[in-house]
Amino acid sequence: MDVSPPRGRSWRWFDVIVVQTSRILSLVPLALLVLVVSHALHVRLFLGRWPVVYRDEPDSFLLNVHQHAIIAAAFATYFGMPVWAAAVVGRVARRQAPARELATQIGCIAAGLGGLALLAAVDPTGYFEWFID
């Protein structure tokens, strides 16, 4: 299968878009991890203790902004991973995917998703159960 650009046209603009998109999308899970941890600390500082499930409903403009940022990052993670995979497949098909860059991107994704899974599994404070509530 020939994926060379049509005669007289350059695919440089496409390559730049795909490279930048894959780089940005690989950082989204890590950003989500940072947002969740910082939100947990924000709630802890706001209440003066860890939140209690089904009881605490802190009402603050900044907490609401923080919570909406988490929701946006979660959606970007969920819907961005297939787009990232498609971008990587496109780069690999065109032989423009350096192994080191792909390994870095996969590491960022694994660190973000693995960190979230680890924090949810080993959460002694009850924050995740409270947040999902």
Which domain range does residue 39 map to?
18-132
Using one digit for the tens of pLDDT, what is the confidence trace for 55-112? 888 888 999 999 999 999 999 999 999 998 888 888 887 777 788 888 898 999 999 9
pLDDT score, position 82:
92
What type of residue is 87? A
**Residues 42-62: what's their mean pLDDT?**
87
Q: Which residues contact 1 (CB under 8 A, 6 or more apart)?
A: none
pLDDT band at 1, cuts 50/70/90? low
Is residue 1 domain-resident? Answer: no
Is residue 27 domain-resident? Answer: yes
pLDDT score, position 116:
92
Is residue 120 domain-resident? Answer: yes
Is residue 56 domain-resident? Answer: yes
One-character DSSP codes across 8-71: T---HHHHHHHHHHHHHHHHHHHHHHHHHHHHHHHHHHHHSSPPPTTT-----HHHHHHHHHHH
Is residue 78 domain-resident? Answer: yes
Total of domains in the chain = 1
- For residue 14, pLDDT over 80 is answered with no
